[in-house]
Amino acid sequence: MTTTVVIGGNFAGMTAALEIKRKGKKEHKVIVIDKSPLFLFVPSLIWVPFGRREIKDISFRKDTILEKKGVDFIQAVALRVDPNEQMVYTTKGNFAYDHLVVATGPKVKYDVAPGVAEFAHYIGTPNGAMKTRKALEEFKKNPGPIVIGATQNAGCMGAAYEFLFNVEKWLREQKIRKKVDLHWITPETFLGHFGIDGITGGETMLKSFMKMFNIHYHTEVGVKEVTKDKVILTSGEELASDFTMLMPPFVGVDFVVNSADLMATPAGYLPVGDDYRHVKYPNVWSAGIAVDVKLPFKPGKVPFSGPKTGYPSDETGKIVAENIVRVTSGKDKLKKKSWGKIPGICVMDAGKKEVIIVSDHLFKPRNFAIMIPNVFYDFSKVLFEKYFLWKTRHGYSQLP
């Protein structure tokens, strides 16, 4: 029997584990190690600050689902791995493996600039989203200027855009919009770059949104410092702010960084091929955010990264699972699809409106790419959330 240990159990990790077990059946023992027994649908965290979702609405216990499908779950913190000894060290003991899948997700680099950790809110975690909700409730009692955006080296611009438009909608619902100067800051070279070199018509569309909603925008800027009442940009400009939400950059988690033999990049990501197999260790694989992704474009004067969203994470989890099953079956030909050639499928919420983004490849060159605005309701965003939660709750990892 082949034993595969999967580190991390959200989008990439859970998909990889379920697919290995589904395809490998009794020939494969699969162990998922994660510090939390809960699966979290991260894209819907943008709605939590406004009370449109509660954390319980977008999370559920994954340990019971995994175990029903024959996957062992260990609630522990993975500390490091020795790929030469093929041993994972955790707070709950050591685990030997035949294959290892690193699907650890990100660590947030809050110290990207002074004051970001202390004075800026972050919506990418349940705790951060709830703190943001509380802060907005206080803010509406005495409204003032707001700054929302992404710092230098950030890659998750899409979620920040979504939060921006949701805040604008919320301000109007609270009848305080006229009292608020709303600013958007981004390291992108142009609006709608998204770390994928943009989509045809995207910049024009977002400029029209900014004008329609009276949002001041600042491109090609980073954050020099955040204080209690202002954001100082790398351009030298100072923006007054009584409420600040920023998306800092992601870096690799401690498990990867502390495993020196894995040869992680300076940012803490794993070097893998287009088959998501480690460049040195043929029985070590990576999926999701832990993958080192080479960008096909040069950022402008302020550096930023590419997006690592749920759909590519899910896809790379499936690719890794397929390849592990092929290798253990004695097959030489592996499935290959570079990160940039994974289709781009995204629904960007715009405050109970949405923009549907579809392309055949995430990165250029592309054969087609389109952005479709829906100004009436964010039906597709809600539908996608319901579908993904349904399929994951039932362990239907084989579905798109």
| Residues 115 and 239 reside in one and the same domain | yes
Average pLDDT over residues 84-110: 97
What integer is the mean pLDDT of 8-26?
A: 97
- Does residue 306 carry a pLDDT above 80? yes
* 355 domain residue, yes or no: no
Within this chain, do residues 244 and 116 fall inside the same structural domain, yes or no?
yes
CA distances from 166 to 10, 47, 163, 238, 279 (A): 25, 8, 5, 24, 42
Do both 37 and 68 map to the same domain? yes
Pairing of strands 72-75, 28-34: parallel
Nearest to 105 by CA among 241, 208, 10, 14: 10
pLDDT the model gives residue 308: 87
**Which CATH number fits the domain that encloses residue 236?**
3.50.50.60
Looking at every residue in the chain, the average pLDDT score rounds to: 96
Quick one: 195 and 234 in the same domain?
yes
Picking from 249, 278, 294, the residue at the C-terminal end of a domain is 249
Q: Given a cut of 80, is residue 299 above it in pLDDT?
A: no
Residue 105: the pLDDT is 86
What percentage of the chain has pLDDT greater than the value 70? 100
- Cβ partners under 8 Å of residue 220, min gap 6: 186, 187, 188, 189, 300, 301, 302
Report H helices in the chain: 11-24, 62-68, 116-119, 126-139, 157-173, 202-212, 254-257, 310-328, 379-393
Whether residue 367 lies inside any domain: the answer is: no
Eight-state DSSP code of residue 378: -
Residues 329 and 237 in one domain: no
pLDDT at residue 297, as a whole number: 85
Burial class (CB in 10 A: 0-12, 13-18, 19+), 40: middle
pLDDT tops 90 at residue 39: yes
- Percent over 90 (pLDDT), the chain: 92
Statement to judge: residues 73 and 174 lie in one domain: no
Whether 135 shows a pLDDT value over 90: the answer reads: yes
Q: How far is CA 79 from CA 89, 90, 256, in A?
A: 6, 5, 9
Identify whether 333 is part of a domain: yes
What average pLDDT does the segment 133-159 reach? 97
Q: Does residue 105 come out as left (phi exceeding 0), alpha (psi in the -120 to 50 range) or beta?
A: left
96 and 140 both lie in a single domain: no
pLDDT digits (tens, 9 = 90+) for 114-130: 999 999 999 999 999 99
Find the mean pLDDT for residues 372-392: 91
User: Does residue 372 lie within any of the structural domains?
Assistant: no
pLDDT confidence of residue 48: 98
**What pLDDT shows up at residue 388?**
95
pLDDT the model gives residue 343: 94
DSSP 65: H
Nearest to 7 by CA among 46, 43, 35, 49: 35
Domain count, the chain: 2
227 in the same domain as 180: yes
Q: What is the DSSP letter of 224?
A: E
Domain boundary among 249, 267, 297: 249
Final residue belonging to a domain, choices 340, 360, 394: 340
Q: Provide mean pLDDT across the span 373-380.
A: 86
pLDDT for the residue numbered 337? 97
In this structure, is residue 30 part of a structural domain? yes
Q: Which domain holds residue 86?
A: 2-107+251-340
Asked whether residue 24 falls in the same domain as residue 131, the answer is no
Q: Residue 363 domain-assigned? A: no
Q: Is the pLDDT of residue 352 over 90?
A: no
Same domain, yes or no: 74 and 133? no
State pLDDT tens for residues 164-221. 999 999 999 999 999 999 999 999 999 999 999 999 899 999 999 999 999 999 999 9
Q: Is 162 part of a structural domain of the chain? A: yes
Q: Average of pLDDT values for 321-335?
A: 97
| 118 in the same domain as 237 | yes
- pLDDT at residue number 309: 85
Q: Is 207 among the domain residues?
A: yes
The reply to whether 114 and 20 lie within a common domain is: no
Q: What is the pLDDT of residues 65-86, one digit of tens each?
A: 999 999 999 999 999 999 999 9
In contact, 27 and 1? CB cutoff 8 Å? yes
